[in-house]
Structure 1
Amino acid sequence: MPQVEENEDTVGLRRQVLERLRVARYALIVLAFGCLVLALLPKIVAVDLLALFLAVLVTWLLTAVPLPQPQRQDLRLRTTAAAIWPDTSMKMMAEALAAPCFIIDRHAILRYANKAAVDSFGSVRPGDPVSFKLRVPELLALIDAVGRGEEGETVRYAERGPTERVFDATVTPIRIAEGRRRPDFLLVLLSNKTEVVRIERMRADFIANASHELRTPLASLTGFVQTLLGPARNDEVNRERFLKIMLEQGERMARLIDDLLSLSRIEMKSHVRPDTVIDIGEIVQHSVNALLPLAKSSGTSILVHATDRPAMVRGDWDELVQVMHNLIENALKYGRAGGTVDVSIRFEDGGDGQPGVAVSVKDDGPGIDAAHIPRLTERFYRVDVSRSRAQKGTGLGLAIVKHIVARHRGRLSITSEKENGSVFCVWLERATVTENLPALELKEENQSINMSQN
């Protein structure tokens, strides 16, 4: 038996001996009184001794009879039960925790799980080993150590599966009786750190990618400068070619720095929602007009389908222009040469019934594989790196779009099929319409822009 149980047995034996001595003292008092009476008698006969013996015997028997003690027995039963199952107050405390937690005994047997634990790990059955739900060697080793009386601590572990989850597991001992080294229960608290770890990884990847993207054109510039200062000092033909490449690399660095600064500014005010009422149709018109030269160079037509009345939203004009410009420019760059880009504005309620405006940009390009879609809005993520750089992309355009839409409390959705093009849709909450917006019809050579009625 463990040391705690042996000490408790010793204490129980001492209590029994003291109880017997307490009972015997009454008989000893009668015996002492009888001896005093006999000492005062002038003559002691056998009957006197027999009477004294019987008096002591009767006193002993009467005081030795145990009295019923139902309260003490109930207390012992309650103490035994409390050592096995947590009480109601302990369960209420567990339910008050927002994080998943399990209450187990020191033998790692599950006794209780709060609602958050059931939601995260599925249904549990009290009485099962906790290893049925938490199959983590490091955590099970920590539970065993704390169950033996060691101090609690925290371990981080990752669950591998369809989606990775990262938890910080803290094991804390719970002692009902004072003075015990081994706990009666253990509280296993699990804090979900998946999002924190993901952000840390994204930040590290962002720094690494930004450094790489800046270092590449910088290395190119340095190499050409050294060449022009050396072997090509007097080579006019190559000097002109090198200077053009250097200009392209400098422009690439400028675009990257501009996008980085833009992303930083958006993140700094992401908690402030714009409140200016603007017409999204005007923003689309402005972006299309700005991209007419690019569309003309590729022979692509832009078809704009507007609503029959102003599509008013609350937003920041410059930021929403940047969103539309990025989406339409991507459609022109990655769509089919000589094809069509459809820009549609329509009224559409959100999932919660909130009135809104949806702007979708559809190209007729080769489409995007489904495996890439969830990562398109990550910083510096490219489906085709060489094609992206050939199109002078920085890898930050869709990340900027995502952050701007999030600041406007909107939604960005992406759908695509191989060989059937891609659709990028931005949904924004609709504001009150205060004025009418006329339809727009513009044409320029092989470039057509039509505001048709929905």
Structure 2
Amino acid sequence: MNQTDLHDVIAALPVAVLAVDGQARVVAANAAANALLGDHLTDRPFVTVLRHPVVVQAVDSMIDPARVMPPVPDPSLAAVESGGYRNRVIISARGRDIPVEITVSGLPGREGALVVIEDSSGIEEAEQLRRDFVANVSHELRTPLTAMMGFIETLRGPARDDPSARDKFLAIMEAETGRMNRLVLDLLSLSRVESEERRRPAEAVDLGILVRSVVATLAPQAAGQGVSISVEGPDSEAIVSGDPDQLTQVFHNLVENAVKYGGSGGEVTLRLERLAREPTLRGPAHAVSVIDRGEGIESIHLPRLTERFYRVDSHRSRQQGGTGLGLAIVKHIVSRHRGKLRIESEKGQGSRFIVILPVRPDRR
């Protein structure tokens, strides 16, 4: 393979690749390598481009295996492959530490080495999300379970013949089991939504009818808390392509949250609008805003509201029976419908949750 062919092959690869000659100088680097390690990588000693002792030793051993001992593989890293080395390491690039998987192999037909660098930041982040998720679920279940075990022990002992204590503990146990049951149901719902997220629903759904149905269902519950729910907007058709059950879940969650956490204003409004053009969706859309006049949310919390188990007020949320998954489910359902969820709020000014869905193509 001549120098031109080498450059062409490396340039076509989607991952970062460096070619090193027999003098341990970089002779070729593709765009992905420049983006990861910086510009002007060629005609430089490899050790000045990527300063990691294990990787440098692997490159040197490929160039001159008789003179340089191969790197000793770390037991925690991937095994040495025949004809080359593959290690998971952390490198410093562009002022930050990046976890990568590096493969070092010989250059075909010439003295030198080929270094392939695969950024594994996404994998590490996904693994961290998984660990955080398991820890959060464990915490959400362990706390009420521990309390219930204590209540059961008390009911079997000191409170065995105390009717008032028994009734009090049983009421608490009923509330906790109800919250755990809602948590399990929300986890199953989130899992189901995520598994279907790439399949776009095709059924025609009238948002006006659906929203008014949700309001009719929740109005008695809201009235019991001194909150009225109203719907504003045209009665004409607002047709989108959707899954009616999932969209019902979206607006049920949003309205229920507005009543629970924004109900201090005494009123929740659902406003339906048709947008001639929504820039982010590149076309016409229907928007449904769920507006409360409660105490509002500080701006610092807004970017994280749709994270799993994120709560503005953990104690209040648990008292209200919240699982911390409602808005995460809403976000995934809206994403499946190729829509957008916007959250606007100011402390003391209430909140507005806006679901924007593209108009069904045959209704544009």
Query: 2 CA distance for matches of 1:168 and 1:226?
Result: 52
Overall identity of the aligned pairs, in % = 42
**Counterpart check, 1:90 vs 2:17:** no
1:101 positional shift: 1.8
Are the counterparts in 1 of residues 105 and 115 from structure 2 also a CA contact under 8 Å?
A: yes
Q: Which position in structure 2 is the counterpart of 1:153?
A: 86
Query: 1 CA distance for matches of 2:128 and 2:178?
Result: 29
Unaligned runs of 5+ residues in structure 1 are 1-81, 178-183, 435-454
1:87 positional shift: 0.7
Query: 2 CA distance for matches of 1:365 and 1:163?
Result: 42
1:121 positional shift: 4.3
User: SS at 1:128's partner residue?
Assistant: coil
Query: 2 CA distance for matches of 1:206 and 1:390?
Result: 21
Q: Which position in structure 1 is the counterpart of 2:40?
A: 124
Query: 1 CA distance for matches of 2:97 and 2:41?
Result: 25
Output one character per residue of 1:28-60: Cα deviation in whole Å (capped at 9) or x when no partner: xxxxxxxxxxxxxxxxxxxxxxxxxxxxxxxxx
1:256 positional shift: 1.0
Q: Which position in structure 1 is the counterpart of 2:200?
A: 273
Worse-superposed segment, 156-165 or 91-100: 156-165
Output one character per residue of 1:302-346: Cα deviation in whole Å (capped at 9) or x when no partner: 343324631111111111010111112222222250344343322
Find the partner of 1:414 among 329, 343, 349: 343
Query: 1 CA distance for matches of 2:120 and 2:349?
Result: 39
Find the partner of 1:203 among 121, 130, 136: 130
1:268 positional shift: 3.0
> What's the Cα RMSD here?
2.9
Q: Which position in structure 1 is the counterpart of 2:18?
A: 102
Query: 2 CA distance for matches of 1:155 and 1:350?
Result: 42
Question: Which amino acid in 1 is paired with 2:88?
Answer: V
Q: Which position in structure 2 is the counterpart of 1:167?
A: 100
**Which ranges of 4 or more aligned residues in structure 1 deviate by more than 6 Å?**
160-164
Q: Which position in structure 1 is the counterpart of 2:75?
A: none
1:203 positional shift: 1.9
Query: 1 CA distance for matches of 2:306 and 2:54?
Result: 36
Query: 1 CA distance for matches of 2:91 and 2:302?
Result: 25
Find the partner of 1:353 among 260, 267, 282: 282
Query: 2 CA distance for matches of 1:422 and 1:214?
Result: 30
User: SS at 1:309's partner residue?
Assistant: coil
Output one character per residue of 1:251-277: Cα deviation in whole Å (capped at 9) or x when no partner: 111111111121222233333221100
1:279 positional shift: 0.8
**Counterpart check, 1:381 vs 2:321:** no
Q: Which position in structure 2 is the counterpart of 1:392?
A: 321
Query: 1 CA distance for matches of 2:40 and 2:351?
Result: 44
Q: Which position in structure 2 is the counterpart of 1:65?
A: none
Q: Which position in structure 2 is the counterpart of 1:317?
A: 244
TM-score norm. by structure 1 comes to: 0.68
Output one character per residue of 1:187-218: Cα deviation in whole Å (capped at 9) or x when no partner: 22222322222222222222222222222222
Find the partner of 1:111 among 27, 31, 45: 27
Query: 1 CA distance for matches of 2:207 and 2:48?
Result: 55
Output one character per residue of 1:156-175: Cα deviation in whole Å (capped at 9) or x when no partner: 32668898753222222215
Output one character per residue of 1:49-76: Cα deviation in whole Å (capped at 9) or x when no partner: xxxxxxxxxxxxxxxxxxxxxxxxxxxx
1:414 positional shift: 3.0
Are the counterparts in 2 of residues 298 and 337 from structure 1 also a CA contact under 8 Å?
A: no
TM-score norm. by structure 2 comes to: 0.83
Query: 2 CA distance for matches of 1:416 and 1:159?
Result: 39
Output one character per residue of 1:323-370: Cα deviation in whole Å (capped at 9) or x when no partner: 111112222222250344343322332425233222232334444444
**Counterpart check, 1:299 vs 2:226:** yes
Matches within 5 A, 1:14-53: none
Unaligned runs of 5+ residues in structure 2 are 71-83
Q: Against the structure 1 CA distance between its residues 354 and 104, is the aligned structure 2 distance closer, same or farther, given a 3 Å change threshold?
A: farther
Q: Against the structure 1 CA distance between its residues 332 and 238, is the aligned structure 2 distance closer, same or farther, given a 3 Å change threshold?
A: same
Question: Which amino acid in 2 is paired with 1:152?
Answer: Y
Matches within 5 A, 1:132-151: 134=50, 136=52, 138-149=54-65, 150=70, 151=84
Q: Which position in structure 2 is the counterpart of 1:222?
A: 149
Query: 2 CA distance for matches of 1:295 and 1:165?
Result: 50
Q: Against the structure 1 CA distance between its residues 231 and 125, is the aligned structure 2 distance closer, same or farther, given a 3 Å change threshold?
A: closer
Q: Against the structure 1 CA distance between its residues 380 and 108, is the aligned structure 2 distance closer, same or farther, given a 3 Å change threshold?
A: farther
Are the counterparts in 2 of residues 173 and 186 from structure 1 also a CA contact under 8 Å?
A: yes
Worse-superposed segment, 324-333 or 132-141: 132-141
User: SS at 1:341's partner residue?
Assistant: strand
Q: Against the structure 1 CA distance between its residues 373 and 234, is the aligned structure 2 distance closer, same or farther, given a 3 Å change threshold?
A: same
Find the partner of 2:353 among 380, 402, 424: 424
1:281 positional shift: 1.6
Q: Against the structure 1 CA distance between its residues 364 and 186, is the aligned structure 2 distance closer, same or farther, given a 3 Å change threshold?
A: farther
Query: 2 CA distance for matches of 1:110 and 1:417?
Result: 54
